[in-house]
A and B are shown apart, each in its own frame.
Chain A
Amino acid sequence: MHSTSYIIRFVLIMTTLAALVLASLNTFLGPKHVMNEKIYNKRAVLAAVKDHLAGTDLEDMTDKDVQSIFSSKIEQKVINMSGDIVEGQTAESIDLAKEKKKPEDDRLLPLYIYTNEAGETFYIISVRGNGLWDEIWGSIALDKDLKTVAGASFDHKGETPGLGAEIKDNPSFPDQFTGKQIIDQDGNYTSIIVRKGGAKNPTNEVDAISGATVTSNGVSEMLYRGIQYYQPYFNKLKQKS
């Protein structure tokens, strides 16, 4: 039998050693983690304009390529809810998960303006909402007219694989959004509706995922609110031009 003081000493030394190992590992790998997370998020933004990346496949791009696109072809802006540009911040430093917890009027929104080799400009906005089990989010690219969708990408935290998770795993779901209009002919904001049972209006509706009604409705809801937040800024842009 070991004495109580031996047990206490043993456990103290052991846990201290374990803590030391983990702390030094974390200090050593920490910068790499932050870097990886940034690249991962940047790839998610670029996924919305994957058809306009000068012919290269996003999956074939190295981390360096992603970085260079971000530093040379993307302009980052932060806007507030009344549509004014907030100076001194970059879009990638905005965490929508945190913004979602603030009161609506205080939120800040990230905006990425991407200009490709052909001179086409795309406005990539970020949206975030709720799926069935947890949060879902996405990036939507709008054409220069600020109403035609040029591409979309979605991600989620814990939707059911094969059902709700298809918003990310099945490329045909985000691909449906290309070419849809968020504003109708009369100039009213309509957003894009994910319709159960198949899209009825080809200009602003897409097919829902069968068996994943709650996630599909979540995407609809997220888009309606998320895109609307950007409308004050877009309206100001339109007035200027």
Chain B
Amino acid sequence: MAEVMQESQPEVKVKEPLFGKAERKLLSDPINDNNPITVQILGVCSALAVTTLVYPSIIMAIAVIFVTAFSNLFTSMLRSTIPKSVRMIVQLVIIATLVTIVEQVLKAVNFPVYKQLSVFIGLIITNCIVMGRLEAFAMANKPWRSFLDGIGNGVGYGLILIIVAVFREVFGKGSLLAGSPLEMKIIGASDLYWVNTSTNPWFGWYMNNNMMVLSVAAMFILGILIWVQRSRNPKLIDIS
């Protein structure tokens, strides 16, 4: 009798909460402690290339978040069926499909930004962050967690992109969010700007820094960001 009772009891399933501590850590870790750009130094190439203006950087960030999140999700869903000998190729097919979807949709929705980002949307395929997460996380974890990990890493990447772009656009062009409906003209030599350097008595000396427009500026800003982050975050202090 006792045996029957035990058998009829439903199997206790370890239920994973949707947003438990572990899940929240998956989202927050890549933003600071394990940031793909400033800590793992991945995806730097596109971070240098697309960050001259803030608006395209935001679009790029959204594109990467979409690709990392969904490639993680699909790879994780397929992880037990993917033959080990061709897993990289399978991952690449997933990434390339998603990137092409992003490219097609962007081309239909916002053509000028598509023209501006040109090859860099397509180059998300080769972004080490995406494949790195598939190999390191999605192949060994459940779909929901993989999805969150993808979002976390995409956001971590996008955040750095936008910080770098804000510095480069404000000091290089004197504007913010140029090309978007929220365009702000901050400082420059005409009446269109908030601070008009040709009439303002305090800012007559000011000129846009042309170096900010070149990729080297992104390299400097990234270096400074890494320095600031490492000096403020005790987890990143190198004790070796």
Binding site for B on A (CB under 8 A): 1-2, 6-7, 10-11, 14-15, 18, 21-22, 25-26, 29, 32-33, 36-37, 39-40, 158, 160-162, 211
Contacts and interface: CB of A to CB of B under 8 A. Distances in A.
Contact of B82 (A10, A40, A158): A10
B111 A40 contact: yes
Nearest to A63: B111
Contacts of B132: none
A14 B93 contact: yes
17 contacts: A7-B83, A10-B81, A10-B82, A10-B90, A11-B86, A11-B90, A18-B94, A18-B97, A22-B100, A22-B101, A29-B104, A32-B108, A36-B107, A36-B111, A160-B214, A162-B172, A162-B210
A158 B112 CA distance: 15
B115 interface: yes
Given A6-B83, A7-B83, A7-B85, A39 B111 contact: yes
Interface residues of B, number: 28
A162 B210 CA distance: 6
B107 A33 contact: yes
B127 to A, nearest CB: 19
Central interface residue in B86, B111, B214, by most chain A CB within 10 Å: B111
A216 to B, nearest CB: 16
A45 to B, nearest CB: 15
Interface of B: 52, 81-86, 89-90, 93-94, 96-97, 100-101, 104-105, 107-108, 111-112, 115, 118, 172, 210, 212-214
Nearest to B214: A162
Nearest to B178: A169
A26 B83 CA distance: 30
A185 B89 CA distance: 67
A2 B105 contact: no
A33 B86 contact: no
B111 A22 contact: no
A37 B101 contact: no
A149 B211 CA distance: 33
A14 B115 CA distance: 31
Nearest to B217: A162
Contacts of A1: 84
A10 B85 CA distance: 12
Contacts of B100: 22, 25
Contacts of B97: 18, 21-22
Nearest to A165: B213
A154 to B, nearest CB: 14
A26 B108 CA distance: 10
Nearest to B209: A162
B120 to A, nearest CB: 12
Contacts of B96: 18
A33 B93 contact: no
A175 B86 CA distance: 56
B101 A21 contact: yes
